[in-house]
Amino acid sequence: MNITYISLSGHVEVEKYRYLYFIIVFVVYFLIICSNCTIVCLIVIHKSLHEPMYIFIAALLINSLLFSTNIFPKLMIDFLSDKQIISYQACLAQVFMFYSLSCSEFLLLAAMSYDRYVSICKPLQYPAIMTGKKVTTFLALAWILPAFQTAVPIVGNANTKLCSLTLKVIFCNNSVNKLFCVISRPLIIYGLVLLFSNALCPMIFILFTYTKILIITYQSCREVRKKAAQTCLPHLLVLINYSCLVAYDMVIVRLESDLPKTASFVLTLQIITYNPLFNPIIYGLKMKEINKHLKNFFLSK
């Protein structure tokens, strides 16, 4: 069986800074694992956190861990290698994981916004609406639906003829389309539909629910407004961060030839680091119950 290798040419002066790059990425990945796992373990251990809101937060952090593991280990290997290459099959697998988990992030954030809407706008009906079965259904859909949808173009491109074996990136993303001799128009249209259904639609839904929450809380007492701010602000910060990642990923491929290589390299590293690293910090500091258990955890040491 012939294995086709793709060259990743987006790296900047790897020979000169390989060990510095490796140490930085290793430390960042280590912090991502420790911070996300700490919050997830706290949610699992403490029964007071076994509520839909915290279960969705745990799912979001697990999603971040999977997202980072799809990119960072391969990056570290590339920094220490003489050639930054990846097999075509592994490249497609990385593309699949990248976009499947990215779509899952938006769907999880949409589920969290619905949970906050019911909690704040329909508090008396909350236990009846947000049942364990419904939470499980939301989680299953958030991971399974994007996986099936993302698999379609990946399988469709698996045997596509390649006219180039070089990508001007540091990991495989939608720039993989530039390798093909002929780009399938139906798959391009399908990709746009996928983007709309799994990114733009959840984003519109999230903005709609938070607008409704804002209207309700504005008409309510100070205590309700305080509760809404404490639970909704972290979700909005995460949404803004992740929207920047998706926007960057879409724009960078089109500006690939215009953007300086060093700027593209630095921006890419920053964008893939922000969410996985700052999500647990945002939830650890802003969510009162999680913050309380975090303080107890560290002070008891």
How does DSSP assign 231-278, residue by residue? Answer: HHHHHHHHHHHHHHHHHHHHHHHHTTTTS-HHHHHHHHHHHHHHHHHH
| Residue 180 DSSP label | B
Separation between Cα atoms, residue 62 and residue 73, nearest integer Å = 17
Backbone φ and ψ for 80, nearest 5 degrees, come out as -95, 0
Phi, psi at 187, each rounded to 5° = -70, -30
**Are 81 and 176 spatial neighbours (Cβ–Cβ below 8 Å)?**
no
Determine phi and psi for 180, rounding to 5 degrees: -80, 140
Quote the CA–CA distance of 138 and 135 in Å, as a whole number: 5
Q: Cα-atom radius of gyration of the chain, to the nearest Å? A: 21
Q: Which residues fall within 8 angstroms of residue 204, CB to CB, at 6 or more apart?
A: none
Please choose, from the candidates 60, 58, 62, the residue with its C-alpha nearest in 3D space to the C-alpha of residue 42: 58
Q: What is the pLDDT of residue 254?
A: 58
Q: The tokens of 31 are what?
A: 């912090």
DSSP 3-state of 8 = strand
pLDDT at position 228:
67
Element of type H or E holding 166: strand 166-167
Residue 59 has a pLDDT of 95
228, 213 Cβ separation under 8 angstroms: yes
Q: Which fold has domain 10-299?
A: Rhopdopsin 7-helix transmembrane proteins (1.20.1070)
pLDDT of residue 27: 96
Q: Angle CA(263)–CA(264)–CA(266) in degrees, nearest 5?
A: 65
Q: How far apart are CA 69 and CA 183, in angstroms?
A: 29
Q: Which string of b and e fits 60-85 if b means at least 16 CB within 10 Å?
A: bbbbbbebbbbbbebbbebbeeeebe
Position 145 scores a pLDDT of 93
- Of 151, 150, 159, 195, the closest CA to residue 180 belongs to 159
162 DSSP 8-state letter: B
pLDDT of res. 73: 96
The reported pLDDT for the residue numbered 229 is 67
Cβ proximity of 238 and 210 under 8 Å: no
Domain-wise residue ranges, the chain: 10-299
Q: Which two tokens stand for residue 112?
A: 């969290």
Q: What is the pTM of this model?
A: 0.89
Determine which helix (DSSP H) or strand (DSSP E) holds 75, and give its type and residue range.
Answer: helix 52-79
For the chain, residues with pLDDT lower than 50 are none
CA distance 125 to 82: 60
Residue 264 has a pLDDT of: 80
CA 80, CA 251: separation in Å to the nearest integer? 29
